Amino acid sequence: MFNPLNSIQYPINSNNRLSAIKYLGKFIKLSRQTLESSYENGFALSEEIQFQNTYLELESLRFNKSFDYNISVDESLDTQDIQVPQLLIQPFVENAIIHGLLNKDGDNKLVQIHFKKEAVFLPCTIEDNGIGRQASHQFKGMDIQKKSRVMEVTQKRINTLFSHAVQQQLLVIFDKTDKNGAPNGTKVVLKIPL
Residue type, 29: K
Give the residues across from 171 on adjacent strands: 190
State pLDDT tens for residues 50-90.
989 988 988 888 888 899 999 999 999 999 999 998 888 98
DSSP annotation of 146: S
User: For residue 144, what pLDDT band results from cuts at 50, 70 and 90?
Assistant: very low
* 154, 188 contact by CB (below 8 A): no
* 19, 11 contact by CB (below 8 A): yes
pTM score above 0.85: no
* 187, 130 contact by CB (below 8 A): no
State pLDDT tens for residues 106-134.
889 999 999 999 888 899 999 999 998 88
Q: Rounded to 5 degrees, what angle do the CA atoms 138, 57, 27 make?
A: 100
Domains of the chain, by residue range, sit at 2-193
Coil, strand, or helix at residue 1? coil
State pLDDT tens for residues 22-48.
778 877 877 777 776 666 667 899 999
Report the 10 Å Cβ neighbour count for 97. 23
Report the distance separating Cα 83 and Cα 97, nearest Å.
25
Cβ neighbours of residue 159 closer than 8 Å, sequence gap 6 or more:
167
| CATH number for region 2-193 | 3.30.565.10
Q: Rounded to 5 degrees, what angle do the CA atoms 65, 67, 91 make?
A: 110
